[in-house]
Amino acid sequence: MEDKQILCVGLVVLDIISVVDKYPEEDTDSRCLSQRWQRGGNASNSCTVLSLLGAPCAFMGSMAPGHVAENLPDVSATDFDKVDLTRFKWIHIEGRNASEQVKMLQRIERHNATQPPGQKIQVSVEVEKTREELFQLFGYGDVVFVSKDVARHLGYRSAVEALRGLYGRVRKGATLICAWAEEGADALGPDGRLLHSDAFPPPRVVDTLGAGDTFNASVIFSLSQGPESMYLILNPAYMNYHYSPLGPTHPSHVYNYKVCMVDREQSFGTSPTTGC
Ranges 98-107, 188-197, 261-270: which has the least confidence: 261-270
Q: Please tell me which of 17-21, 159-163, 207-211, 227-231 the model is most confident about, judged by mean pLDDT.
A: 159-163
pLDDT of residue 112: 98
5-21+33-240 fold:
UDP-N-acetylmuramoyl-L-alanine:D-glutamate ligase (3.40.1190)
pLDDT of residue 224: 92
pTM attached to this predicted model:
0.81
Confidence category of residue 227, pLDDT binned at 50, 70, 90:
low
Confidence category of residue 116, pLDDT binned at 50, 70, 90:
very high
Mean pLDDT computed over every residue of the chain: 83
Residue-range domain boundaries for the chain: 5-21+33-240
Has residue 243 got a pLDDT over 50? no
pLDDT tens-place string over residues 59-74:
999 987 777 677 888 9
99: Cα within 13 Å, side-chain hemisphere = 2
Ranges 66-80, 138-152, 208-222: which has the least confidence: 66-80
Has residue 98 got a pLDDT over 90? yes
Residues belonging to the chain: 276
Ranges 107-116, 181-190, 223-232, 244-253: which has the least confidence: 244-253
Radius of gyration of the chain (CA): 19
Cross-strand partners of 39: 14
- Torsion-angle region of residue 77: left (phi > 0), alpha (psi -120 to 50) or beta? alpha
pLDDT of residue 114: 97
Has residue 183 got a pLDDT over 50? yes
What is the DSSP secondary structure assignment for residue 68, as one 8-state letter?
Answer: G
Phi and psi at residue 89, to the nearest 5° = -100, -20
In Å, how far are 39, 140, 182, 220 from 13, measured between CA atoms?
A: 6, 26, 26, 22
CB 133 within 8 Å of CB 101: no
Q: Which residue has the higher pLDDT, 96 or 13?
A: 96
Has residue 239 got a pLDDT over 50? no
Confidence category of residue 228, pLDDT binned at 50, 70, 90:
low
pLDDT of residue 231: 52
Provide the b/e sequence for 206-215 (b: ≥16 CB within 10 Å). Answer: eeebbbbbbb
Confidence category of residue 35, pLDDT binned at 50, 70, 90:
very high
